Structure formats: C-alpha cells, structure tokens
C-alpha cells in the first residue's frame, strides 16, 4: 500500500469534507511527529500544508495555483510550474493575470475570472469552474476548479484538463 495515496479526511464547521495537501507538491502531509509541529511539508520542504474541501482539493497529478484576495499569486505547485513554464519564486506576489487569462468564449471579459477569484478568496462564493489559458498561449485551454483554501483564506485554482 502506498501511504502517500492515503489522504486524511476531516470535516469543517459546516460538515463539509476537507483534506490537507501541500501547496507545492500537492501531496497529503506525511504522518510524522515533525509534521504535527509545522506547516511545512515534510515531503518536499517547499510548500505549506493547506486545507480545502475534498471536491476542490487537487489530486496528485493536478497542477494548481493559490491566489489571495488581492489576486496575487501565493503558491504555484511543482506541476503548475512545469505546465505554465514559470518559476514559483519569480511568480509569488505577482498578479494572477500575468500568468492566466480567461479562455471561456461565453465570458464577457477578463474581469470575470478575476472577480470570481476575488470572491472565492474572500469567502463570498462557493466552488466554481472556469476555463483559462496561459497568458501568452493561444489554442491551449484548461478547465479550472476554483474553491477556497487556507489558512490563510485564499482561492485555489486547480487546472484539470
């Protein structure tokens, strides 16, 4: 049995299933004594442990970004670094629109994605989906799951396909 595939499930105040994952490698935190003392992921050492609803949290193979209420990128997973060709160290504190823009034909403007992220990051909206593309790429589209994560509260944008 591969322990890293096992994800501990918890429940939030509203009774929703929440899971913990690393903000960089996306894996569930290791069940060690050290992991209970710190938020730093014991597996990769580059992410902090975040929590999100189980239907929003990324699966092992899914790239994701974490964006705060000011729409600044707070975390980029290792897979998202590879997929988008960006370096997390350079990407943090930059505006999310520097990397991703909406690619939904029905979306009236780019502001929709940003408004959605801001709403989710501030806790005003539940999980949603969007279609996005890398800023400088055309013909590539990703379906994205957007939901709240934390602490501290932020929007989790998981690129699915």
- Prior bond of 95 cis (ω within 30°): no
Alpha-carbon span 158 to 57, nearest angstrom: 8
Site for other proteins in 56-75 (CB under 8 A): 66, 68, 74-75
Residue 46 binding other proteins, by CB under 8 A:
yes
> Using CB under 8 A, which of 26, 47, 63, 134 touches other proteins?
47
Residue 50 binding other proteins, by CB under 8 A:
yes
Site for other proteins in 100-119 (CB under 8 A): none
**Residue 140 DSSP class:** -
Site for other proteins in 75-94 (CB under 8 A): 75-76, 88-89, 92-93
Question: How many residues can be counted in the chain?
Answer: 161
The span from the first CA to the last CA of the chain, in angstroms, equals: 28
Task: Count other C-beta atoms under 10 Å from residue 25's C-beta.
Answer: 18
Cβ(24)–Cβ(116) under 8 Å? Answer: no
Which value, to the nearest 10 degrees, does the dihedral of the CA atoms of residues 122, 126, 130, 136 take?
20
Q: Smaller CB distance to other proteins: residue 28 or 103?
A: 28
| Minimum CB–partner distance for residue 77 and other proteins (Å) | 9
> Using CB under 8 A, which of 2, 14, 37, 61 touches other proteins?
37
Q: Smaller CB distance to other proteins: residue 47 or 147?
A: 47
**Residues lying near other proteins in the complex (CB under 8 A):** 23-24, 34, 37-40, 42, 45-48, 50, 66, 68, 74-76, 88-89, 92-93, 149-152, 154
């Amino acid at each position: 049995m591969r322990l890293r595939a096992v994800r501990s499930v918890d429940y939030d105040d509203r009774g929703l299933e929440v899971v913990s994952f690393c903000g960089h490698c996306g894996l569930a935190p290791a069940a060690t004594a050290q992991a209970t003392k710190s938020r730093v992921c014991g597996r990769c050492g580059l992410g902090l442990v975040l929590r999100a609803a189980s239907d929003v949290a990324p699966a092992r193979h899914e790239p994701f970004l974490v964006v705060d209420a000011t729409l600044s990128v707070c975390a980029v997973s290792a897979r998202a670094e590879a997929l988008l060709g960006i370096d997390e160290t350079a990407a943090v504190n930059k505006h999310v629109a520097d990397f991703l823009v909406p690619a939904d034909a029905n979306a009236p403007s780019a502001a929709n994605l940003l408004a959605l992220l801001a709403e989710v990051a501030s806790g005003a909206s539940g999980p949603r989906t969007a279609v996005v593309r890398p800023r400088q790429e055309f013909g590539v589209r990703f379906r994205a799951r957007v939901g709240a994560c934390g602490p501290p509260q932020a929007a989790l944008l998981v690129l699915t396909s």
